[in-house]
Structure 1
Amino acid sequence: MESSEPDLIRALERGLGAYVQAVAAAIGVPAEGTTVEISDTATAYLGLSRPWPGRPRHDVMLVWSERRGWTVAVETAPIEDPVVLARWPGDELVPPPEEVARFVDDAAAGRSTGKDRVTAVPVTRRILAERLDEYVPLHSDQV
């Protein structure tokens, strides 16, 4: 049976919210330091409160999009694009949270940034929701 578009969006939002909370827990970011948005593009934001080498006065964020996967970037003025420090080096849009935490640690140390990669392997929203669904039971009380 096919689910409706609103059902798919709810499933995607629930799954992405749970996944982002699992990533945040692995990195040590409190729940209030995260956001998830489903619009024309599904996106997530995690504010990294750790000091960042070479950027002591800047806020650094970990962002996710269904088109690019994970990116570490410096927050800039609202009218400016963020400065990308590192991109997830693999093709997987939903890597395990522990691997994302290692990616952030490596990026902070200047290792394995994958900065030249622009997009992840595209998947449909239905497939993405299915991949994210595995995180929902683990954190369903937080979503």
Structure 2
Amino acid sequence: MKALDYALRVTRELGLSGESSCIDRQKPLRMYIAVDGRLPGRPDHDVALLWTERHGWAIAAEDGADLTVVAHLGGAVEPPPHAVARWVRGLLTDQWPAHEMDRPLDRRAG
């Protein structure tokens, strides 16, 4: 499956095992990848990387069962895995501008 391969490549670029990730194969296709680290300004929240085949990548702060999207990676829906990893690392180190969206999503949305 192309999406699974893509998710694995992104996960590897981030140095993650992929144990805390999932792919929802129903249309639209969606992915959830738990990310190590914290977002600046949200030290008490876990971080998740979300992807949909329509909108591409977003990063979210987890608060219980809710995911609050804090930034979207613009451009291509399937950018190269190294570009996704660079974007995530930049957000985690506060070196990439994130536009707050404050849109709670159900955990299943990832």
Fold in common (TM above 0.5): yes
TM-score (norm 1): 0.63
Could you tell me which runs of 5 or more consecutive residues in structure 2 were left unpaired when the two chains were aligned: 102-110
* Partner SS, residue 63 of structure 2: coil
* Aligned-partner Cα distance in 2 for 1:112–1:95: 18
* Aligned-partner Cα distance in 2 for 1:53–1:112: 11
Q: Which amino acid aligns with 1:88?
A: L
The number of residue pairs the alignment matches comes to: 100
More strand by share: 2
- Asked whether 1:93 is paired with 2:80, we answer no
CA RMSD, Structure 1 to Structure 2 (Å) = 1.8
Which structure is higher in RCO with an 8 Å CA cutoff and minimum separation 6?
1
Aligned identity (percent) is 30
**8 Å CA contact 1:45, 1:61 repeated in 2:** yes
* Aligned-partner Cα distance in 1 for 2:54–2:98: 18
* Partner SS, residue 31 of structure 1: coil
Which portions of structure 1, spanning 4 or more consecutive aligned residues, are displaced by more than 6 angstroms?
A: none
Displacement of 1:113 = 3.6
Q: Which residue of 1 aligns with 2:8?
A: 21
Could you tell me which runs of 5 or more consecutive residues in structure 1 were left unpaired when the two chains were aligned: 1-13, 117-143
Q: Which has the larger radius of gyration?
A: 1
* Aligned-partner Cα distance in 2 for 1:38–1:73: 20
**8 Å CA contact 1:70, 1:87 repeated in 2:** yes
